[in-house]
Amino acid sequence: MQSSVSSSNINRVPIYFYLVLLPLCFFIKLWHFTLRLKISGEDAEFLLSKDKFFVMFWHNRIFVLPYLKRVFRRRKKMSGLVSASKDGALLAALFNFFDIDSIRGSSRKRKVASLFEIAEAVGQGSSVCITPDGPIGSLKVAEFTDLDILFLRVNYRSYFTLPTWDKFQIPFPFSSVDLKVVSCRPYSDIAQSAQKEGVSPVEYAEHLMGR
């Protein structure tokens, strides 16, 4: 996605670093091919047929996002909200190899610019991936559009955990991946349900997501 909004203050990986990422991405693709996806026929049909949406799942399950993009959204546009930090630069570069556009921003850097870019991406027909524990703050980015928020629960039957801030999970080769569409509702419905439960919209969303 070519944004008309300024891209200053964004950390990017050097061009030569893509030579290192190329074999890594090939290896990740092979890894994905070994995984066994478990999903109901109804949920699979929904993901295949839905036009566009915000899709929300935990940051530490991002490893399978390219896999899900290939299986369910191969011919549909997808963008991911990625931090403008150095760590985000690596993730954005990886997304690029898997046909996922990156919208760079966080609550501390490029917050307003990234909101404009999200609106631009949605206007171009793209779904947008967000996380409850990611940049800017989960539902805030969905509050300014009329798109439904799809809550996606992803769990690995067997996996190992990296020593990162989010305890990043990577499924073992040939592991099963349980996938469930928990809910698909606009932000206004989420806010109303949260109010009834006496919690914030973010807390309600996290409850829907489970762990």
Expressed in angstroms, the distance from the first to the final Cα of the chain is 32
Strands 54-56 and 148-156: parallel
Enumerate helices (H) and strands (E) in the chain, giving the number of each: 7, 9
Report the run of H or E that residue 80 belongs to, with start and end: strand 78-82
CA angle (140, 162, 165) in 5-degree steps: 40
Pick the range with the lowest mean pLDDT from 4-18, 33-47, 137-151.
Answer: 4-18
pTM of the full structure: 0.85
Query: Where is average pLDDT lowest: 39-48, 75-84, 202-211?
Result: 202-211
Place of tokens 């109303």: 192
Which helix (H) or strand (E) covers residue 82, if one does? strand 78-82
Mean pLDDT of 148-153: 92
Mean pLDDT over 92-116 rounds to 84
Radius of gyration of the chain (CA): 17
pLDDT at residue number 138: 56
187 and 54 in contact (C-beta within 8 Å)?
Answer: no
Higher pLDDT, 146 or 36: 36
- Using the predicted structure, report yes or no on whether residue 107 has a pLDDT greater than 80: no
Overall average pLDDT of the 72-96 stretch: 88
